[in-house]
Chains A and B, each alone.
Chain A
Amino acid sequence: MTLKTLRWLAFAAIALFMAGPLIVVAGVSVNEKQSLTFPPQGFSWAWYGQIFTDEGWRASLVASVVLAALAAALAVLVALPLSWFLWRRVAPWANVFRLLGVAPFILPPVITALGLLTFWATIGFYGQPWTAIISHAIFFVTLPLVTLSLGFSSIDRSLVEAAATMGADDRTVLRTVILPLILPYLVSGYAFAFVLSLNEYIVAYMTVGFTMETLPVKIFNALRYGYTPTMAAVSVFFVAIAALVFGLIARFGNLPRLLGAMSSQEE
């Protein structure tokens, strides 16, 4: 057997394993009646419509999207000055903050979730929707931190020096040279954090689970009362969003480089 056949077989097997459950879910989501059968009986887009028309599902969708958009923005706001400082200054002790930013991502998620739950409960804000935004921002700050650190390390310092020689001060250099150069890394960091926040369950559940139902929390609650094709439709919707976002990053950025750096950071 040649390497080529072997590779083809391995790729087909892994592709089937990865896509299998999603194919079944996609099939289930177009059932005509409210039952989970596969292959689907009849064909209907109605369950997809229900994500937007049913009040409960729509509220969860809005809650999830707003949470993800704001949490990812806050994560970038924390990561940007930190990674800029680490790149601009010689201050080895400041790496402690990089470590703090990466820690929630490496430790089992239930730990961060429980820490935040005890914290919000202790200071009396447990269940407030805005606490979820801060919680998710801290939980996912790793992603923009890693992409931005990579972006800064790829800047040619002679460019910055040239600007400084021509009389630009720190602020002008930042605005006219550095920000345009790191913009792609900033956008991908935001996108990674956005997609992961959209899918996050345990932190959202432990901090605001009883006052605000994000989509993953809603799906899990719905699992207990029996299955509906709407859950399948939401799942397909999520896979599509993730594929779209990562596809865009791959189209406009350098995905292999982005991933190569990410994992060497985690090692």
Chain B
Amino acid sequence: MRREPPRTLADYAPLAFPAIMLVVFFVIPFSTMIAVSFFRRQQGGFYTPDFVLDNYARFLSAFFGGVLGFSLMLAVMVAVICVSIGFPFTYLLTKASRRAQIVWLVCILSVLSLSEVIIGFAWSTLFSRTAGITNLLVAVGLMAEPRALLPGFGAVLTGMVYQALPYTILVLYPSLVRLDPTLLEAARTLGASPLRGFFNIIVPAQRNTIVATLIMVFVFALGCYLLPQILGRPQHWTLSVLITDQAIYQSNMPFAAAMAVFLVLISLALVGLTLLIGGTGRQHHDA
């Protein structure tokens, strides 16, 4: 059956339900949110239709600047750490037997699907005084007495790396699986050690993949909303946490919506950049 353009109304019929669902429950909510970001806030958590820029003007405060700077810095750190660990690991994984790869993929998927609540709970237990790793250090005599390792920046960073690492591996996996094995073989024949071959041949050949993955993980980390609350102190809150806090606890929907719009713009700009890099990368590959 050849693919044909739709002609009659009946040809369009299958599109009706998905189109209605996506427009009514994604496009309209998204537009509602943008509209609310221009509304005027009233006392007691209500808001009235209006067109004011007050909510966006609040971005100019030092507090918001601090939260934004911290969120971006944290997401950059998570992305860099995850790709530095994930890239060599995924490369080694693609060299393992198919069976081993499948077992690893099942485990990685299981960790990736874990709720942020559960990841936060698991790490807060691991970092706690009563059940934490410091007990292990005490047992082997490296520490005098167990202590809590949270709340703190280290705990937030560890939790977020734990959450983003499986994602990083799954984003890297397809490109690394398709990597031409003769590249490294050639380098080996010419006398390069495996490590040297990896850094001088594989990493440069995958430069575009690495940059695209860094951006994907960065956007993923920007979306983290619970770990900073569970594992950190208020000064470790990110933009996503602040949006939730303004929407639910401060009942300031217009301001929350304005921040969300801002977060969309950052994310879209970065995703667009990824597509651009992916596009040039493919051209490069074809040439």
- B191 interfacial by beta-carbon distance below 8 Å: no
Name A1-57 residues within 8 Å CB distance of B. 2-3, 6-7, 10-11, 14-15, 17-18, 20-22, 24-25, 27-28, 35-38
Question: Given the complex of chains A and B, what is the CA–CA distance between A209 and B124 in angstroms?
Answer: 23
A259 pairs with B15, CB closer than 8 A: no
- Say which residue of B88, B116, B126, B225 sits within 8 Å of A24 (CB atoms): B126
Contacts of B105 in A (CB 8 A): 246, 250, 255-256, 259
- Closest B residue by C-beta to A200: B115
A36 pairs with B125, CB closer than 8 A: yes
Contacts of A103 in B (CB 8 A): 26
Q: Give how many B residues have a beta carbon under 8 Å from the other chain's beta carbons.
A: 96
Q: Are A97 and B174 CB-contacts (below 8 A) given A119-B29, A259-B105?
A: no
Q: Are A266 and B28 CB-contacts (below 8 A) given A110-B244, A111-B263?
A: no
Name A77-131 residues within 8 Å CB distance of B. 77-79, 81-82, 84-85, 87-91, 94, 97, 100-101, 103-104, 106-119, 121-122
Contacts of A231 in B (CB 8 A): 121
A111 pairs with B122, CB closer than 8 A: no
Q: Among A160, A195, A267, find the residue whose CB has the most chain B CB atoms closer than 10 A.
A: A267
- Say which residue of A6, A38, A115, A163 sits within 8 Å of B131 (CB atoms): A38
- Closest A residue by C-beta to B94: A256
Q: Digit string of A222-243 for contact with B (CB within 8 Å is 1, else 0)?
A: 0100010001100100110011
Q: How far is the CB of B282 from chain A (nearest CB, A)?
A: 10
A85 pairs with B14, CB closer than 8 A: yes
Q: How far is the CB of B73 from chain A (nearest CB, A)?
A: 16
Contacts of A73 in B (CB 8 A): none
Q: How far is the CB of A108 from chain B (nearest CB, A)?
A: 3
Contacts of A189 in B (CB 8 A): none
Contacts of A18 in B (CB 8 A): 107-108, 111, 162, 165-166
B121 pairs with A223, CB closer than 8 A: yes
B118 pairs with A109, CB closer than 8 A: no
**Segment from B2-10, B50-58, B62-70 that makes contact with A:** B2-10
- Closest A residue by C-beta to B254: A118
Q: Digit string of B102-133 for contact with A (CB within 8 Å is 1, else 0)?
A: 10011111110111111111111110101111
Contacts of B248 in A (CB 8 A): 205-206, 209
Q: How far is the CB of B12 from chain A (nearest CB, A)?
A: 8
B6 pairs with A78, CB closer than 8 A: no
B174 pairs with A91, CB closer than 8 A: no
- A219 interfacial by beta-carbon distance below 8 Å: yes
Contacts of B269 in A (CB 8 A): none
The tally of CB-CB contacts under 8 A between chains A and B is 281
B26 pairs with A104, CB closer than 8 A: yes
Q: How far is the CB of A67 from chain B (nearest CB, A)?
A: 13
Q: How far is the CB of A123 from chain B (nearest CB, A)?
A: 9
Interface size class of A (residues with CB under 8 A): 35 or more
Contacts of A185 in B (CB 8 A): none
Q: Are A17 and B162 CB-contacts (below 8 A) given A110-B240, A118-B33, A255-B102?
A: yes
B29 pairs with A118, CB closer than 8 A: yes
In order of increasing CB-CB distance, the 4 nearest A-B pairs are A108-B223, A119-B29, A38-B131, A21-B122
Instruction: Enumerate chain B interface residues (CB-CB to A < 8 A).
Output: 1-6, 11, 14-15, 17-19, 21-23, 25-30, 32-33, 36, 85, 88-89, 92, 95-96, 98, 101-102, 105-111, 113-126, 128, 130-133, 135, 162, 165-166, 170-171, 173-174, 177-178, 194-195, 212, 216, 219, 222-223, 225-226, 230, 240, 243-244, 247-248, 253, 256-257, 260, 263-264, 267-268, 271, 274-275, 278
10 cross-chain CB contacts under 8 A:
A38-B131, A104-B26, A108-B222, A111-B33, A118-B36, A138-B25, A202-B225, A227-B121, A256-B98, A256-B173
**18 more A-B contacts (CB under 8 A) besides A78-B21, A246-B109?**
A38-B130, A84-B14, A90-B3, A101-B22, A110-B223, A110-B244, A119-B28, A134-B25, A135-B25, A161-B2, A250-B102, A256-B98, A256-B102, A259-B105, A260-B178, A262-B170, A263-B170, A267-B274
Instruction: Enumerate chain A interface residues (CB-CB to B < 8 A).
Output: 2-3, 6-7, 10-11, 14-15, 17-18, 20-22, 24-25, 27-28, 35-38, 77-79, 81-82, 84-85, 87-91, 94, 97, 100-101, 103-104, 106-119, 121-122, 134-135, 137-138, 141, 157, 160-161, 163-164, 173, 195-196, 199-202, 205-206, 209, 216-217, 219-220, 223, 227, 231-232, 235, 238-239, 242-243, 246-247, 250, 255-256, 259-264, 266-267
